[in-house]
Chains A and B, each alone.
Chain A
Amino acid sequence: MDLSQYAELFLAESREHLSACNQLLLEWERHPAAPEPVGGIFRAVHTVKGMAATMGYARVADLAHRMENLLDHLRRGAAGRRAGDDVLQLLFRATDALEKAIQLSAAGREREADVAGIIAELDRAVQRFAPDTTPRHAAAAPAVPAPTAEPPPAAGPGRRVRVTLRPEAPLKGPRALIVLKRAQGLGVVSQVQPSPAAIEADEFEGTFSFWLVGPTPADRVLASLKASGDVEAVEVEDEAAAAVRPELGAPAGAGGAGSGATPLESGKARHIRVDLRRLDTLMDQIGELVTVRGRLNDLAAERRDPAIDDLALQISRLSSDLQAEIIQARMTPVWQVFDRFPRLVRDLARELGKPVAFRVEGKEIELDRAILDELGDPLVHMLRNAVDHGIEPAAERRRAGKKPEGEIVLAALRERASVAISIADDGRGIDRARILAKAKADGLFDAHVDTLSDDQLLRVLARPGFTTAAAVTSISGRGVGIDVAMTRIRALGGTIDIRTEVGKGTTFVLRLPVTLAIVRALIAAVGRERYALPLTYVAETVEFGMVPMTTVEGREAMVLRDRVVPLVHLRQLLGVNGDQPPARRPVIVLEMGERRVGVIVDGMLGQQEIVVKSFDAPRGTLPVFSGATIMGDGVPALILDAGGLL
Chain B
Amino acid sequence: MSHSVLVCDDAIFMRTMISDILAQAGFEIVGEAETGVQAVDKYKQLKPDLVTMDIVMPDMGGIDAVREITKFDPDAKILMCSAMGQQALVVEAIQAGAKDFVVKPFQPSRVLEAVQRVLG
Contact = CB atoms under 8 A, between A and B. Distances in A.
A136 B87 CA distance: 11
A174 B91 contact: yes
Nearest to B107: A1
B104 interface: yes
Interface stretch (A264-272, A323-331, A405-413, A484-492): A264-272
A573 B66 CA distance: 73
B28 to A, nearest CB: 5
Given A9-B12, A53-B104, A257-B25, A137 B91 contact: yes
Contacts of B56: 42-43, 46-47
Nearest to A265: B28
A173 B93 CA distance: 13
Interface residues of A: mostly helix, strand, loop or mixed? loop
A261 B26 CA distance: 6
A136 B15 CA distance: 29
B85 A65 contact: yes
B109 A257 contact: yes
Most buried by A among B11, B100, B105, B106: B11
B90 interface: yes
Contacts of A53: 83-84, 104-105
Interface stretch (A104-112, A247-255, A527-535, A557-565): A247-255
Nearest to A53: B105
Given A13-B11, A46-B56, A200-B91, A227 B17 contact: no
Contacts of B22: 267
A263 B57 CA distance: 29
Contact of A200 (B87, B103, B109): B87
A201 interface: yes
Interface in A592-645: none
Contact of B114 (A135, A140, A229, A265): A229
B71 interface: no
Contacts of A170: 84, 103
Interface string A150-183: 0000000000000000000011011001100100
16 contacts: A1-B21, A9-B12, A46-B56, A47-B10, A47-B56, A50-B105, A173-B91, A177-B91, A201-B88, A253-B113, A254-B120, A255-B25, A256-B109, A262-B26, A265-B29, A269-B15
Interface of A: 1, 6, 9-10, 13, 17, 40, 42-43, 46-47, 49-51, 53-56, 65, 68, 135-137, 140-141, 143, 170-171, 173-174, 177-178, 181, 200-202, 227-229, 252-259, 261-271
Across the A-B interface, the 9 shortest Cβ-Cβ residue pairs: A267-B19, A137-B88, A253-B116, A257-B109, A261-B26, A267-B29, A174-B90, A253-B113, A54-B105
